[in-house]
Amino acid sequence: MKHISIITKQRAALPKKIASALSKTLSAKGIVVTQEAVDTDSDAIIVLGGDGTLLHVAGKAHKLDIPLLGINLGGLGFLTEVTLDEMDSAVDSLLSRNFTLDKRMMIQVAVHRNGEKVDELLGLNEAVLTKGPFGRIITLPTWADSKFVNAYRGDGLIISTPTGSTAYNMSAGGPILHPNLEALVLTPICPFALGSRPLILHGDSSVMLEIHPVKGEEISLIVDGQVFRVLEEGDKIEIKKAPGHLKLIKSPTRDYFTILREKLGWANDPIPKIHNRP
């Protein structure tokens, strides 16, 4: 490793203090360090913060095809899975290139208006189509590979990757998918019909939605909680797997299921304790 970019949560004192110390350590080893920006010549990116901070730079890491190491200084930490206690050993493994990569599927989200593509976004977790502030039910006609699926009625629709299945998708009652799968999950938000349930599609599927807001209501597109777009009548939103993968550096001590147990409060004992009833 010759060049590393360090990204921290903006206006947060602790990550900046740790970033400053880490930068001095790396510089003493002869490594060029760029702080608060991703340099195109970087060999790796280190994120100090929470999942939101990592999501902020995931698209750049994907486009540059460079590994990303997330050090969790936030709350949940599904993506920034390396703890502060593990940071020194994880950074040493990074410098020696003795690490394991987790390759995560990302999505391309394209907005088509009047027959032209007017916007294209990258997402690691999900794309969300949701209603505006007035509380009216919206309808989202949805196709998969040009075949009509459903006209989802409710507060909106989440189109999630396996990585994002433990984010908004899980909160809305969607299934948890192992992050190494290639799939798309369609999860309705507060659906009007009880039979409108989450649907898992193949990762190579192309999902298309058509925008028809009710009078006086807005429909918005939100990607990874980072990018917000207000959509117009007749817009078509296309969501499909992005080329390549995001390369996340795995925790040196904990596997995916250990992290799930920690974050979701699952049992750690493989043999359940049986209590005698009175």
- Please give the backbone phi and psi of residue 76, each rounded to the nearest 5 degrees, phi first: -70, -60
- How many angstroms separate the CA atoms of 147 and 168, rounded? 26
As a whole number of angstroms, the distance between CA 161 and CA 102 comes to 14
Domains of the chain: 3-105+245-264 (3.40.50.10330), 107-241 (2.60.200.30)
For 190, the token pair is 């507060």
Q: pLDDT of the chain along its 278 residues, tens only?
A: 899 999 998 777 888 899 999 999 999 999 999 999 999 999 999 999 999 999 999 999 999 999 999 999 877 788 998 989 999 999 999 999 999 999 999 999 999 999 999 999 999 999 999 998 777 899 999 999 999 999 999 999 999 999 999 999 999 999 999 999 999 999 999 999 989 999 999 999 999 999 998 887 889 999 999 999 999 999 999 999 999 999 999 988 889 999 999 889 898 888 776 666 55
In the chain, the amino acid numbered 138 is I
Q: Is 39 a catalytic residue?
A: no
Active-site position among 39, 41, 43, 51: 51
- pLDDT per residue as tens digits for the range 159-190: 999 999 999 999 999 999 999 999 999 999 99
Secondary element (H or E) of residue 102: strand 101-104
Selection from 230, 237, 226, 224 nearest residue 152 by Cα: 237
Query: Which residues face 110 on adjacent strands?
Result: 120, 238
Residue 55 CA to chain centroid, in angstroms?
Answer: 6
Amino acid at 163: T
